[in-house]
Amino acid sequence: MAKNWADLLPELLELCSRQLLLEDWFAFRSVCSTWRAAAFEERFNVPWLMIADDIFADDRRTNTEWAEFYSLFSSRIHKVVMPNAKEKRCLSSRGWIFTIDMGSQVHMLNPLSRAVSRYCDGIIKLPSVHEFSSWDPEDYEPETRYAKFVLSASPASSPNYMVMVTYLNSTRLGLWKPGSEEWKELTWLGDPVLDVIYYKGQFFAVDWLDEILVCDVDRPDPTAQVILKKPLEFRDHFEFCQMYLVELAGRLLLVARLAQQDGATSGFRVFAIDLEARKWTELESLENASLFVGFNSSFSVQVDENRHAIKPNCIYFTEYLPHRDTEGKEVGIYHMKDGKIEPFFDEKIYIDFSPPLWIELDAALYRSDHKFK
């Protein structure tokens, strides 16, 4: 029998790691290089679905707030500690959760790891974003005004990350950098922005007219300008309900969600955008990859033997439709091959002002210099 825990057989360590909850698995990996190598990653290297709102509850015995995450790998719901998130709107980017309260105060944390590194210490407080809001309070609650928060990089890997925020049905864009005491508003006089992505060192956005914008964030007064418009052959032939920007294998994709009159998803179209050639090309297949789109910053996943829980050549989508008479949520899988839509996650999701979110594991958290609370 091994006298040193680090000398346990790799097979035994792997067997132990398979039995752990997610937060315990992260702690297991950080013990030493031997345990790190033995940690069974297959359960956790696929996206998770965070179920919002009513699932936040205090454990009165420990005064702990929990959230529920659905695992694509195990098809099971896991409870994860989520401090500072009860009764707040939640959005996500790069595996990090942004919480917004009634006063438009923003916090950021990584719920699946609770990572602490030399660049971040658990929960990160951002300045309030209320100064950009000019809404009719009868139409929107303060915390539901914000559509997306998009990170340029993981806060666990670099102190130089940036955050951009978009607003519902608005041309407004806000930019924040660590150390700043306030958000900067980007000057954009065009149509409302639907999505934002950080791609090859720059923020890009897409607006209601399907125009691609580039954001200049290095100026004292950041701006956005159109660099590419939808080609004539694609105009007036179809209408999009929502647009998403996604990076796939180094390429920038524009994903268009098509909708029925009641807002329910009817299909998707995917375009590869060549910014240098200023060209759109419609894709018929994603090959051995799948996309995850919704109220998270959208992302792609290459499907291989370690991610067999994900179906290739598919678009996994969530949508929040508060104007509908139904539960107000959609979670489904769109198959690129035949255009069929498959329901995903059969259990009822109770929605108030937070949508269900796709959560990806932050690759930076696999570095050995990270600690976990």
Question: Does 35 share its domain with 77?
Answer: no
Question: Does 162 share its domain with 307?
Answer: yes
Query: How much of the chain exceeds pLDDT 70, in percent?
Result: 69
Q: Which of 25-29, 167-171, 194-198 has the highest mean pLDDT?
A: 194-198
Question: Does 129 share its domain with 259?
Answer: yes
Strands 77-81 and 202-207: unpaired
Question: Does 279 share its domain with 212?
Answer: yes
pTM of the predicted structure, to 2 decimals: 0.84
**Total number of domains in the chain:** 2
Question: Does 246 share its domain with 326?
Answer: yes
Give the residue numbers spanning the domain of 35: 1-40
Question: Does 230 share its domain with 278?
Answer: yes
Question: Does 274 share its domain with 162?
Answer: yes
Distance of CA 152 to the CA centre of its chain: 12
pLDDT for 368 = 42
Domain harbouring 294, CATH code: 2.120.10.30
Strands 265-274 and 57-59: unpaired
Question: Does 129 share its domain with 221?
Answer: yes
**Mean pLDDT across the chain, nearest whole number?**
78
Question: Does 166 share its domain with 194?
Answer: yes
Question: Does 315 share its domain with 329?
Answer: yes
State pLDDT tens for residues 267-310: 999 999 999 999 999 999 999 999 999 888 899 999 876 567 89
Residue (of 282, 279, 286, 327) closest to 310 by Cα position: 286
State pLDDT tens for residues 89-101: 888 999 899 988 8
237 within 8 A of 280, measured Cβ to Cβ: no
Question: Does 213 share its domain with 80?
Answer: yes
In 157-294, at which residue ranges do the beta strands (DSSP E only) sit? 163-167, 173-176, 184-186, 193-199, 202-207, 212-216, 223-228, 242-248, 251-259, 265-274, 279-283, 289-293
Question: Does 339 share its domain with 226?
Answer: yes
The pLDDT of 251-263, averaged and rounded, is 88
Query: How much of the chain exceeds pLDDT 90, in percent?
Result: 30
Q: Which residue has the tokens 């990076």?
A: 247
- What does the radius of gyration of the chain's CA atoms come to, in whole angstroms? 21
pLDDT for 369 = 47
* pLDDT-wise least confident of 92-96, 107-111, 315-319, 361-365: 361-365
End-to-end CA distance of the chain: 30
